[in-house]
Amino acid sequence: METTWMARGSCANSNPEVFFPHDGIGVEIAKQICIGCTVTAPCLEYALTNRVEHGVWGGCSERQRRRILKERRAAVHAGRQKDDLVAVAA
Ligand code: SF4
């Protein structure tokens, strides 16, 4: 997976510990740094694809990423059900 975007992140010269906070305040501090970052999309996709469970990636907390993955699974499931209906109707 492409990772050259990492060097362009706003966090490239930050203390990595900032992005692995222990509480909600720490999460918000990390997310504030992500707001101005130009590589939030590939960063978030990297974390989602690799099922990175810890830390703030792409401006999203662990909880937010779990929710995105859940929504994606639901969308895939819904798409399959729709395909099944079309196949039955054909
Ligand atoms: S989105 Fe956040 S965690 Fe990802 S590279 Fe940018 S600043 Fe770093």
Q: What is the pLDDT of residues 45-63, one digit of tens each?
A: 999 999 999 999 999 999 9
pTM, two decimal places: 0.88
Distance from the alpha carbon of residue 55 to the mean position of ligand 1, in angstroms: 11
Q: At CA 29, angle to CA 27 and CA 30, rounded to 5?
A: 65
Which residue ranges have their beta carbon within 6 Å of ligand 1?
9-11, 19, 33-34, 37, 39-40, 43, 56-59
- What pLDDT is attached to residue 83? 85
Atom from ligand 1 closest to the CA of residue 12: 8
| Closest residue to atom 8 of ligand 1, CA basis | 11
Its domain, for residue 68, covers: 4-89
> Which residues, including other chains, have CB under 8 Å from residue 46's CB and lie 6 or more apart?
1, 3, 5, 52, 57, 58
Q: How many structural domains does the chain have?
A: 1
Rounded Cα distance, 80 and 75, in Å: 9
